[in-house]
Amino acid sequence: MTLPARRGSIRHAMLAYSLLLVLALSLAFILIGARLSYQSQLASTRRQLASAADLKQRQIERWVEERESDLAVLATEPSLQQLLAVLRTAPGESPERLNAYSEIAVRLTGFLRKKVAFVELALLDADTGRTMVSTDVLREGESHFTAAYFQHGQRELYVQPPVFDPTVNGPTMLIARPVEEPGGDVLAVLVGRANLADLGVLIQAGSGMGGQGETYLVSDAGLYIAGSRGMDVAAQGEVGSVGVRRALLRVAGSGRYVNDWGQDVLGTYRWVPKMEVALLIEQDWTVVVAAAYRQAATMAGVVGVAAVLAAAAALLLTRRIVRPITELTAVASDIAAGNLERVAPLQRADEMGLLAHAFNEMTRQLRNLVATLEQRVAERTQALQEANAELEAFAYSVSHDLRAPLRATQGLSQALLEDCGDQLDAVGRDYVLRIQGSAQRMDTLIQDLLAYSRIARANVEFKVVSLELVLQDVLLQLESAIREQDARVTVEKPLPAVVGHYPTLAQVVANLVANAIKFVAPDVQPRVRIWAEKRDGVVRLWVEDNGIGIAPEHYERIFCVFERLHGIETYPGTGIGLAIVRKGMQRMGGAVGLDSTVGEGSDFWIELPVGDENARR
């Protein structure tokens, strides 16, 4: 039946498609431009944050080094060292000791006035840890023997991480160092308690991040130390945004997160080991994306103008192309209705003419193909049936004709041993036993070849299969081998269901378990662990053993037919078992692999799609 022509519909469709294409491309350009603007602005801000962090870290480290240098100048004054020696050795209320105490106190107080960064200076006895002299006289006599700054300060320069100090309503930091006499003996530990207020001023100084930028320090305990929000924030307790947590883990990086003041920010964070604090510099997220929005708006305007021009061009192009296509429609409708004798009447010198010629050539070839198709199908079907018949005949011959002589050989050799065994010497009996063994191995080889052939050509119908039922049947099948090897097989349940072919899957699992029991070192009890895991829509079943292991260079070789890594005298077999495993998994659309260590064991695994958890055989 000839389909009716629908004049004008192609034009409308092409026009609609053209406009949709223009619109889609316009939207794609806008989205791509917005994305590129976003990425460019994000990268630029990240670089700016990193540069600001580098600058601030250098300033912080320089500030700490200056405080360390201040204490070093005081600790190395010869006069202070002499006074300390007198203070430690003179009797308790002697004039010499009192005079030494007074002069040291004056020196510490004068030094404190010059170095306003310190709020307290103290000298701790090197033997007892008690405060001998302090600018805060109320703290003299206190013991600091167990304090970390005293223990470390006896040996080396030590900087204690900042803590919140309620006496100054802000964070302070202890710096300790030994005061040594010329002979090298430690006289005292000089401890300076630095007020981080001027460090806060340094942090608040401009970092080029604008009014929406944040720069602050956080102690190892998660306390706000100093920053652009001022020192009053330090009394508000702990902070713990994503950036703070990562910096406290000594991880340096940058990213978008919500800070502790509820702002959506792009921040960079790092750990400053010199001061044992986290440094964070953040920029308001709206500032980051504002430039990208402006660029995207500009690009949208340009693309909009281009879209209007493209739409006008599409309208003109549609009118030129549609007319010859409409003429071809009638011819195509007749051919679709079964009239293969119809030809396109178009006579044009452009692409439409070539299309009409190709259309006519196509219908001619189609007529020829239809005429010969049935004959070719019949010939190929006959050839396939003959090939299948030959395979069936071969399998029957192998199964019956070839195995019959082997059974006769086995029976006759057994009868020879039973009836004439006492007439044979040791060499003769050994020959008969070798004949029996060879016949048995040949029979096993034929059976394995048949199994491989069946798996390779059998019809595989996929169903949901319970792995627990498969393992139950396999362990029952291998019960005698497990008992003979004194093997310990552990199955960790529950096992999920998979999509596969039950007989093929049972053969695969049986071969893996049998190999796990067989390939173990002498005098070693075989231990096999079977478990399963789900990953990305598939189930991976593991068969782990404590066997002899396989070297990595043999991982691929062991799955080939007749490939053996050991002599038949050491480990009997035909070398087909793992080939059957791979072929079976290929037929089921799965995968097989292993991890192994020579001398420790092997972990074989197979993968199949996840099935219904309530599946049954």
pLDDT in tens, 427-436: 776 776 677 6
Please choose, from the candidates 547, 549, 495, 555, the residue with its C-alpha nearest in 3D space to the C-alpha of residue 524. Answer: 547
- Give the pLDDT score at 1: 43
- Give the pLDDT score at 178: 95
Please choose, from the candidates 389, 336, 390, 391, the residue with its C-alpha nearest in 3D space to the C-alpha of residue 366. Answer: 336
- Across the chain, what does the average pLDDT equal? 80
Instruction: Please check the confidence at residue 266 and state whether its pLDDT lies above 80.
Output: yes
**CB contact at 8 A, 279 and 256:** no
Task: Give the model confidence (pLDDT) of 297-328 as tens digits.
Answer: 777 777 778 778 777 776 777 666 666 676 66
Residue 17 banded pLDDT, cuts 50, 70, 90? confident
Instruction: Please check the confidence at residue 3 and state whether its pLDDT lies above 50.
Output: no
Residue that has been written with the tokens 């004068």 in this structure: 110
Query: Counting beta carbons within 10 angstroms of the beta carbon of residue 200, is it exposed (0 to 12), middle (13 to 18) or buried (19 or more)?
Result: buried
Task: Give the model confidence (pLDDT) of 189-201 as tens digits.
Answer: 999 999 887 777 7
The H-or-E segment that residue 488 falls in is strand 488-491
Of residues 236 and 308, which shows the higher confidence score? 308
- Give the pLDDT score at 541: 95
Task: Give the model confidence (pLDDT) of 28-53 as tens digits.
Answer: 877 787 777 778 878 888 898 899 88
Q: Residue type at 261?
A: W
Instruction: Please check the confidence at residue 395 and state whether its pLDDT lies above 60.
Output: no
Residue 481 structure tokens? 């081998």
- Give the pLDDT score at 349: 66
Task: Give the model confidence (pLDDT) of 562-591 as tens digits.
Answer: 566 665 555 666 667 788 888 888 888 899
Q: What is the pTM of this model?
A: 0.47
Query: Other C-beta atoms within 10 Å of 279: how many?
Result: 25
Task: Give the model confidence (pLDDT) of 161-174 as tens digits.
Answer: 888 888 888 788 99
Instruction: Please check the confidence at residue 63 and state whether its pLDDT lies above 50.
Output: yes
Q: CA–CA separation, 453 vs 522, rounded Å?
A: 33
- Give the pLDDT score at 457: 58
**CB contact at 8 A, 216 and 272:** no
Mean pLDDT of 502-508: 89
Q: CA–CA separation, 53 vs 213, rounded Å?
A: 12
Residue 2 banded pLDDT, cuts 50, 70, 90? very low
Q: CA–CA separation, 177 vs 517, rounded Å?
A: 67
Three-state SS annotation for 343-403? CCCCCCCCHHHHHHHHHHHHHHHHHHHHHHHHHHHHHHHHHHHHHHHHHHHHHHHHHHHHH
Out of 163-167, 193-197, 217-221, 240-244, pick the least confident. Answer: 163-167
Please choose, from the candidates 103, 114, 53, 109, the residue with its C-alpha nearest in 3D space to the C-alpha of residue 80. Answer: 103
Query: Counting beta carbons within 10 angstroms of the beta carbon of residue 190, is it exposed (0 to 12), middle (13 to 18) or buried (19 or more)?
Result: buried
Residue 252 structure tokens? 């340096």
Out of 120-129, 387-396, 426-435, 456-465, pick the least confident. Answer: 387-396
- Give the pLDDT score at 193: 93
